[in-house]
Amino acid sequence: MKFSKVLLILGVLIVMIFNVNTECIKCEEIQPELHEDKTNIKKKAFLTFDDGPSPEVTLDIIKVLKKNQVKGSFFIIGGRAEEYPHIIEELVNNEMSVCIHSYSHKYEDIYKSVNAYIEDLKKCEEVIKRHVKGDVSRYVRMPGGSFVSIKSKEIKKRIKEAIVDNDFKYIDWNVPSDDTRKRYVSEEFIFGNIKKNIKGKNTAIILMHDSKYKKTSAKVLQRVIDYLREEGYEFYSMDDITVEDEMLLIKSRIINNVCNK
């Protein structure tokens, strides 16, 4: 083989490797902490609770939030809300933010097609509409988050586009409490995870869960609120997100994360 040909092949290989690397780097950027905006010096914490309402836990969470004058955000399951409408009423009456998670929360159904996903989302929206006074929040949380692993990456990509096309925004989190690591987790475990994962984050979207197995999530809440206050955080809900917060969260890929890993 001629030397020039070898050079050409090498060149092509280098370009290919370089492209693969930049693609990887782009996807690595989904790590929200890499994008924390140090200019946003106000420390804001958003306590978010997925999978409620639950007769075992929601009212306990509300009690703690109310006592501390903190507004939380509840990404609810529509089917459960139909079972426990009085709990949704409690959330609304206590000015908590009630947002869409899913109607059925069954991955095998909702992630099978774009239509199935949007139909489920809208069904959940209808349930919330019966309880809230104004418009339903445009912030939704995809079951499993936008990182959710499903069979078809292409369907996931199109679902995300359809959410935005339907005038919603999907929001993940940057402070996992890992309270779903096992069915029962200790208060110490949840507190330790929040303490560890919030380090260096001025805008913290904290993920916790509201279901019958998550009694410790409700129990540890007072300790979490006390700690965050000591650390200088103020509390906000999805109803209080400002344009600046939203821009930062989009840049951090916590809102409308397009990376489709």
Q: What does R_g of the chain's alpha carbons equal in angstroms?
A: 21
For residue 50, the surrounding DSSP H or E stretch is strand 44-50
Q: Is 179 in the site for Zn ion (CB under 5 A)?
A: no
Residues 20-59 as x/- pattern, contact with Zn ion by CB under 5 A: ------------------------------xx--------
| Contact of 255 with 246, CB cutoff 8 Å | yes
Q: Is 143 in the site for Zn ion (CB under 5 A)?
A: yes
CB neighbours of residue 60 within 10 Å: 17
Beta strands in 111-255 (DSSP E): 139-140, 169-170, 175-176, 203-209, 234-236
3-state secondary structure of 209: strand
CB of 78 to Zn ion, least distance (A): 12
CB of 47 to Zn ion, least distance (A): 16
CB of 240 to Zn ion, least distance (A): 23
For residue 102, the surrounding DSSP H or E stretch is strand 97-102
In sequence order, which residues have a C-beta less than 8 Å from that of residue 128 and are 6 or more positions away?
Answer: 76, 78, 81, 88, 98, 99, 100, 136
User: Which residue lies nearer to Zn ion by CB, 179 or 233?
Assistant: 179
User: Which residue lies nearer to Zn ion by CB, 46 or 233?
Assistant: 46
In sequence order, which residues have a C-beta less than 8 Å from that of residue 116 and are 6 or more positions away?
Answer: 109, 110
Stretch that binds Zn ion, among 91-99, 137-145, 173-181, 238-246 (CB under 5 A): 137-145
How far apart, in whole angstroms, are the C-alpha atoms of residue 198 and residue 214?
21
Q: Is 72 in the site for Zn ion (CB under 5 A)?
A: no
User: Which residue lies nearer to Zn ion by CB, 44 or 105?
Assistant: 105
User: Which residue lies nearer to Zn ion by CB, 44 or 101?
Assistant: 101
CB of 124 to Zn ion, least distance (A): 12
CB of 143 to Zn ion, least distance (A): 5
CB of 51 to Zn ion, least distance (A): 4
- # residues near Zn ion by CB under 5 A: 3
User: Which residue lies nearer to Zn ion by CB, 51 or 245?
Assistant: 51
User: Which residue lies nearer to Zn ion by CB, 140 or 255?
Assistant: 140
Q: Which residues bind Zn ion (CB under 5 A)?
A: 50-51, 143
